[in-house]
């Protein structure tokens, strides 16, 4: 360990250049590699070594952050801090005490908005890890943040850092944050100044901070309501009037704050339309007011937000990156923070837990319902705003309004107006606008269906949106562009409008599609993931929508394979309202595609392109995701994987093949149903015996790969996938001999798995 310690500064310098790179991908890769080195060398370091290393890290950070104007060096220092605080509790505590004051001072001088956000997040992480009661340091941060967002502050980065500090404290220490912002009305007066900030990104940061603040307030509101209900239930001498008074008195503080937020939003939406010399300022106020109104609506209907989280957010998840066996092993043994360690330090920064929190305030909901007519009338007048920032917020608000009170919404001309607005945005030049439009289309259809089911009094008299799916089907169909037309001039009006916005990415998409076509002939190019999200929500709308889905299958099953498509089809197959015939067609179409890919001689080529490797990996994952019948996967897919893929030249394909084939074998090991046994017992027993022999042979071959493969990731995954259900095959002498041999593997993680199998 001491030899490594003397080389530690050189280790930091080795990664410093890449950590300072302006290229985000290079920085992320360097961060992950440094984190991996730290974990492998210092995960179990004694306390004296941790102290020495922490001092060296502190010196490195001081040098890199000496000049606040050098953004790249500053960022490198922050990424080094992030790697170490994720590497284990000892480093976390030691560095928190040493580095928290440095970052606190740096916050006063930071000049880059993105860097400022990273500093704030790291500061909150370090404060929570300090040995002293540093949580009280937030009592200094909140007043400083409020000072930065004051109207007198001219520097936009300082305004942005101020609003970001408030959000991160709300997430990191909600109880402390609540006490620091009380009285809430006074805090809101200062916070609402950023709602009309001249910079759009600061107004959007205000919306995020408002969301975090509302979550804190609503949690406290619910706690007080529980206490009130408990007191009222146990009190014997409270009259009904006194009870009502007690509840109103306790909730009065929250009600005033929420009413203030609502009034402030409406004030921004009621700006003078005749003002010409301040048109930009007027648009900023409208945008800010709509953002605040959207946040209030988000906490008024938790069911709607749950739908968004379940049916929309998975489509925007980043593409899963390859992970090493060390990552997998680390997540299994939970090294850091007394919980599973992150696979990448950037996961802590990129995936805040706050985005997953869904709450609902009964008080805010009542305010929104009481003022529903006024809100609807105000927001609908801004549908024709030329700047995209206003329609982009509006298209998020309209489905939320519809879901909140669809009965009233449908009695006004608002449903037709909303659908017209959505169709206009679907034809937009901008990809972001089209994505929001398809999300809104699916949400409107889902709101229409849900509210009609709950409308027991038959008060909704308008025609259901799913009654005539022709226009909706046309909107979805036109996103599946025929492959032949992507290489020639596009002559249709809609395709021509979209061509301009897609020019920058069209060549790369065509190259990827060409690679896929070599393995799987495709008739159509795959649309954006928002289209698949829309189709998923349409599937939830019941039998009327199923007819549309049957027509869409022609396009869905002939546009290649990707994660968004698979998530969509998997969701559709799990929906009880989807016809069984539709689900059967999906399974049959997928199996044909998988057979086309995995049986293609090009799939065994050692020189696969990245696009070809990706499509093979997705095909292997598809065999695991969907619940195909055993007859569909045996023997064809089992034999293909066993003969051609578990020893493929590509490491990633070998790993996925081994994981997939063991998953399929595990399904075949399940006991057959009583009905199948009773038909012909003798034949069934003979077939079952042959199958067991075949599974034993394949298991032995996989175990041999786990011992002989040169790549540790492959060997690790072999022993990991054989952990359960294969004991009867591993108990044989040949298998035991290989298991004992694997106890001498150079990787201790593999030795541990082999020992657990023995």
Closest by CA position to 308, among listed 363, 355, 375: 355
Please say whether the beta carbons of 300 and 365 come within 8 A: yes
Q: Is the pLDDT of residue 130 over 70?
A: no
- Per-residue pLDDT, 507: 44
Between the CA of residue 65 and those of 29, 74, 451, what are the distances in Å?
22, 5, 56
List, for residues 31-43, the tens digit of each pLDDT value.
988 888 888 787 7
Return the higher-pLDDT residue of 459 and 721: 721
Determine phi and psi for 318, rounding to 5 degrees: -65, 155
* pLDDT band at 348; cut points 50, 70, 90: confident
- Per-residue pLDDT, 107: 62
List, for residues 195-236, the tens digit of each pLDDT value.
999 999 999 999 999 999 999 999 999 888 777 766 544 444
The structural domains of the chain, with segments of one domain joined by +, span: 466-601
* pLDDT band at 260; cut points 50, 70, 90: very high
Average pLDDT of the residues in 392-402: 95
Average pLDDT of the residues in 71-85: 88
C-alpha–C-alpha distance, residues 560 and 557, integer Å: 7
Q: Is the pLDDT of residue 493 over 50?
A: no
C-alpha–C-alpha distance, residues 286 and 73, integer Å: 39
Q: How many CA atoms lie less than 13 Å away from 672 in the CB half-sphere?
A: 18
- Per-residue pLDDT, 690: 82
Return the higher-pLDDT residue of 577 and 187: 187
Return the higher-pLDDT residue of 387 and 291: 291
- Per-residue pLDDT, 457: 66
Percent of the chain with pLDDT over 70: 81
List, for residues 423-445, the tens digit of each pLDDT value.
999 998 899 999 999 999 999 99
- Per-residue pLDDT, 230: 60
Strand partners, 482: 524
Determine phi and psi for 524, rounding to 5 degrees: -135, 150
Q: 635: cis peptide before it, omega within 30°?
A: yes
Q: Is the pLDDT of residue 541 over 90?
A: no
Highest mean pLDDT among 344-353, 563-572, 728-737: 563-572
What 3 state SS string does 393-425 have? HHHHHHHHHHHHCHHHHHHCCHHHHHHHHHHHH
Residues with Cβ within 8 Å of 747's Cβ and at least 6 positions away in sequence, in order, are 325, 712, 715, 716
Q: Is the pLDDT of residue 192 over 90?
A: yes
- Per-residue pLDDT, 181: 93
Give me the helices (H) in 184-234, please.
Answer: 184-191, 200-234
Distance of CA 684 to the CA centre of its chain: 46
Please say whether the beta carbons of 741 and 683 come within 8 A: no
Output the average pLDDT for the chain: 82
The two three-digit tokens of residue 598, written as one number: 């995995």
Average pLDDT of the residues in 237-265: 67
């Amino acid at each position: 360990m001491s030899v490594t310690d003397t080389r530690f500064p050189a280790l930091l310098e080795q990664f410093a250049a890449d950590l300072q790179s302006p290229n985000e991908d290079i920085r992320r890769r360097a961060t992950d590699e440094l984190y991996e080195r730290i974990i492998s060398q210092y995960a179990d370091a004694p306390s004296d070594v941790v102290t020495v290393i922490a001092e060296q890290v502190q010196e490195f950070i001081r040098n890199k952050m000496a000049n606040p104007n050098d953004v790249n060096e500053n960022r490198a220092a922050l990424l080094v801090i992030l790697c170490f605080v994720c590497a284990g509790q000892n480093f976390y505590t030691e560095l928190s005490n040493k580095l928290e004051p440095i970052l606190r001072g740096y916050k006063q001088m930071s000049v880059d908005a993105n860097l400022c956000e990273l500093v704030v997040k790291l500061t909150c992480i370090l404060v929570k890890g300090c040995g002293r009661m540093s949580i009280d340091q937030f009592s200094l941060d909140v007043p400083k943040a409020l000072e930065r967002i004051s109207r007198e502050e001219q520097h936009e980065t300082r305004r942005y850092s101020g609003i970001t500090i408030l959000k991160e404290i709300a997430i990191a220490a909600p109880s402390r944050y609540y006490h620091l912002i009380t009285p809430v009305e006074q805090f809101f007066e200062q916070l609402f100044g950023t709602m009309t900030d001249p910079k759009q990104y600061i107004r959007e940061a205000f919306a995020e901070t408002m969301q975090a603040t509302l979550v804190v307030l609503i949690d406290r509101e619910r706690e007080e309501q529980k206490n009130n209900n408990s007191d009222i239930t146990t009190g014997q001498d409270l009259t009904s009037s006194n009870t009502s008074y007690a509840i109103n008195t306790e909730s009065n503080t929250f009600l005033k704050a929420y009413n203030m937020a609502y009034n402030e939003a409406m004030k921004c939406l009621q700006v003078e339309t005749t003002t010409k010399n301040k048109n930009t300022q007027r648009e900023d106020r409208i945008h800010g007011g709509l953002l605040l109104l959207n946040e209030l609506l988000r906490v008024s209907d938790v069911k709607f937000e749950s739908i968004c989280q379940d049916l929309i957010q998975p489509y925007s998840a980043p593409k899963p990156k390859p992970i090493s066996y060390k990552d997998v092993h680390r997540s299994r043994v939970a090294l850091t923070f007394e919980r599973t360690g992150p696979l990448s330090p950037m996961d802590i920064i990129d995936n805040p837990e706050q985005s997953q929190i869904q709450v609902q305030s009964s008080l805010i909901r009542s305010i929104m319902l009481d003022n529903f007519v006024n809100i609807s009338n105000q927001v609908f007048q801004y549908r024709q705003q030329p700047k995209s920032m206003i329609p982009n917020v509006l298209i998020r608000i309209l489905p939320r309004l519809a879901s909140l009170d669809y009965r009233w919404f449908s009695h006004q001309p608002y449903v037709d107006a909303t659908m017209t607005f959505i169709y206009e945005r679907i034809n937009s030049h901008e990809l972001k606008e089209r994505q929001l439009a398809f999300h809104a289309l699916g949400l409107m259809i889902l709101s229409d269906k849900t509210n009609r089911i709950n409308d027991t009094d038959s008060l909704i008299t308008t025609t259901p949106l799913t009654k005539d799916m022709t226009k909706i089907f046309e909107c979805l169909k036109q996103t599946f562009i025929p492959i032949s037309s992507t290489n020639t001039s596009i002559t249709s009006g809609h395709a021509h409008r979209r061509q301009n916005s897609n020019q920058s990415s069209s060549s790369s998409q065509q190259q990827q599609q060409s690679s896929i076509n070599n393995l799987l002939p495709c008739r159509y190019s795959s649309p954006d993931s928002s289209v698949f999200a829309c189709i998923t929500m349409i599937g939830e709308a019941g039998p009327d929508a199923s007819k549309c889905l049957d027509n869409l299958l022609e396009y869905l099953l002939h546009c290649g394979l990707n994660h968004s498509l698979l998530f969509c089809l998997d969701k559709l197959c799990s929906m009880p309202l989807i016809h069984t015939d539709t689900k059967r067609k999906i399974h049959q179409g997928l199996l044909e595609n998988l057979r086309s890919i995995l049986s293609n001689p090009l799939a065994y080529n050692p020189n696969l392109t990245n696009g070809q490797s990706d499509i093979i990996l997705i095909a292997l994952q598809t065999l695991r995701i969907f619940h195909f019948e055993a007859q569909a996967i045996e023997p064809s897919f089992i034999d293909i994987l066993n003969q051609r893929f578990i020893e493929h030249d590509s490491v990633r394909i070998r790993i996925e093949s081994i994981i997939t084939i063991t998953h399929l074998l595990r399904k075949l090991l399940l006991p057959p149903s009583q009905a199948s046994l009773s038909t012909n017992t003798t034949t069934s027993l003979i077939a079952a015996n042959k199958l067991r022999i075949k599974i034993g042979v394949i298991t032995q071959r996989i175990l041999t790969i786990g011992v002989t493969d040169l790549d540790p990731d492959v060997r690790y995954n072999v022993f990991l996938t054989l952990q359960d259900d294969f004991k009867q095959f591993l108990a044989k002498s040949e298998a035991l001999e290989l298991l004992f041999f694997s106890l001498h593997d150079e990787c201790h993680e593999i030795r541990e798995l082999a020992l657990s199998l023995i």
